[in-house]
Amino acid sequence: MGGFGLTFYLGTQLASSTPTVSVLIAAHDIQAGTSITASDLTTKKYLSDSAPKSVLHSQTDAAGHIARVDIAAGDPVLSSMIGSLSQGIAPVSLYPLPDGYVAVQFAVTVPSGLIVEGEYVDMISDANLSLFKATAPGNVSRVVFHELEVIKVTNPAAGSGQTTAIVAFLMDECDVPYAAWLAANTSLAVVVLPLHQGGIPPADTTCPGLVSEHAVGAFDVDARYHFTG
């Protein structure tokens, strides 16, 4: 008994002296595209050596961001799993979404007569070239997303003279990091496409960097959309 007591005592002393760190974890399942609140999160003590390097530690690190991927209850929340809410981008929750798609909303310039739910639109980004090359002059416009389905529209008040509306779109979740950057750094507008009967394509499940330490920036956006040529 004496030997057991000594072993137990030493074990508890070693455990109490092992450095620990508070790790942010999901309090319940968090769906990709969800706007994260403090109630979605809790913390748990991890041994310092076993905590993931990119894990977040405080609720304030994640609250107010969107989940870029599904986060299971009890999973540590990594910095690469969340993104910033930029220029009104936010998820539309409680909506039946196809696998691989999320609902996001943007403040966009709308055409005369506005737009309605169920229409398909192309999204255009007007960007200053200095975003990509410091010495490049002028602005360039590019169609950045094709055939987005409009699922909700909050139009400007009648007679307000504004041409900007808050529009929610169905979007492949692989496109969300690019959309967030474009919303934060460029002007977005939409054009309504002719009436057609087409379904959305299967979501891209092979997109690189959906969960990645590498954030989308000007270089990535220019490489994808060729603003500078």
Go through the domains of the chain in sequence order and give each one's CATH number.
Answer: 2-83 (3.90.1210.10), 90-225 (no CATH)
Question: Are 75 and 208 a contacting pair, CB within 8 Å?
Answer: no
Q: Is the pLDDT of residue 140 over 80?
A: yes
User: 């920036």: which residue's tokens?
Assistant: 217
Match 């496109």 to its residue by tokens.
175
pLDDT tens digits, residue range 168-223? 888 888 888 888 889 889 999 888 877 665 566 777 767 654 444 456 788 888 99
Q: For residue 20, what pLDDT is reported?
A: 85
Q: What is the pLDDT of residue 90?
A: 53
Mean predicted confidence (pLDDT) in 43-53: 81
Q: Is the pLDDT of residue 125 over 90?
A: yes
**How far apart are the C-alpha atoms of 31 and 70, rounded to whole Å?**
5
| Residues pairing with 123 in the sheet | 145, 190
Calpha distance 67→117 (Å, rounded): 25
